[in-house]
Amino acid sequence: MKVQPVQYDAFRNGSKTYFNSSRFFPSSVRDDVFSLYAFVRVADNYVDSIPQQAEALNTMQDAFRASFAGSTADDIVVDSFAELCRRVDIRPEWIDAFFHSMRLDLTKFAYDTLEETLEYIYGSAEVIGLCMARILELHHDADHAACMLGRAMQYINFIRDIDEDNQLGRRYLPLRNCELESLQADEARSKPDAFVTFVREELGRYRSWMDEAEQGYAMIPFRARTAVKTAGDMYDWTAMTIEKNPFVVYERKVKPKRSRIVLRGVGNLLVQASFRRRR
């Protein structure tokens, strides 16, 4: 189904890193990728808005279920995504898990154990990796790597967005076995060594999951691999930038410029093409 302006805008405005990386997907799957991320971003916007729009989120889930069953929601974002799910065998229980995590953002504001955080991440990010695997027609052997990629990317977002989440009253990163009582800027600055140690340990979790994710790159077709690897490279760049100065998360939102993303994407495309020719 041809992507419409409202889907294009929802994706572009919600995730510039992945949006620009996704331009490197082959045209045969690009619209499907945009359909997925437009759906995700609209739902995410409902829980991130002030005030939050719980009823709109519920309505969206009901509309998706009806559209998936064959009705028409009269909503291009919902109907396009429901058609995509039926066509590429995206499981409805994955979408239920996604909405479960979105609802957690309406009621849960602090995550005190890694298990709690991973429950949230499964619905908010790992199932998105599974959806991408179906869109790209990957073998089920790639599912674990797809989940780990979603997990790693979500986790670096949590680290990058510490200050933004503070303003929303949220904390996704557990503080068990840590000297910090919160991730508020004043607390972090009063205990700088503890904060730096904490952030760098959390970046270590990110890297361990990204290492698992990268083992699945070889299963992705050439052109699609360029887009996925470019996004992964940009998250690695974000992690390296924060590791150099963890307090940067209180100073600005660490995100690569479009020019950096495009240059890395072109470089990855050339490397992948060269490797493909040698084979």
Query: Is pLDDT at 1 greater than 60 in this prediction?
Result: no
CB neighbourhood size of 128 (10 A): 22
Tell me the DSSP string of 19-81.
Answer: HHHHTTS-HHHHHHHHHHHHHHHHHHHHHHSSS--HHHHHHHHHHHHHHHTT---S-HHHHHH
Dump pLDDT digits (tens) for 232-252: 999 999 999 999 999 999 999
Ramachandran quadrant class, 137 (left: phi over 0; alpha: psi -120 to 50; beta: rest): left
- How many CA atoms does the CB half-sphere of 136 hold within 13 Å? 28
Record the tokens describing residue 193, joined without a space. 């060594």
Record the tokens describing residue 90, joined without a space. 């995206």
Respond yes or no on whether the N-terminal peptide bond of residue 174 is cis (omega within 30° of 0): no
Nearest to 91 by CA among 118, 57, 117, 126: 126
Q: Which residues contact 241 (CB under 8 A, 6 or more apart)?
A: 248, 254
- How many CA atoms does the CB half-sphere of 115 hold within 13 Å? 0
Dump pLDDT digits (tens) for 136-194: 999 999 999 999 999 999 999 999 999 999 999 999 999 988 999 999 999 999 999 99
pLDDT at 7: 65
Q: Which helix (H) or strand (E) holds 107?
A: helix 92-107
Tell me the DSSP string of 168-185.
Answer: TT-B-S--TT-S-S---H
pTM of the model: 0.93
CATH topology of domain 5-278: Farnesyl Diphosphate Synthase (1.10.600)
Dump pLDDT digits (tens) for 202-211: 999 999 999 9
Amino acid in position 193: D
Partners of 171 in the β-ladder: 110
* Structure-token match 């990268």, residue found: 214
Dump pLDDT digits (tens) for 113-123: 999 999 999 99
* Structure-token match 């699945």, residue found: 216
* Structure-token match 């504001």, residue found: 109
CB neighbourhood size of 277 (10 A): 7
Record the tokens describing residue 114, joined without a space. 């890694």
Query: Is pLDDT at 278 greater than 60 in this prediction?
Result: no
Q: Could you tell me the pLDDT band of residue 10, with boundaries at 50, 70 and 90?
A: low
Domain coordinates of the chain in residue numbers?
5-278
Q: Which residues contact 31 (CB under 8 A, 6 or more apart)?
A: 1, 2, 3
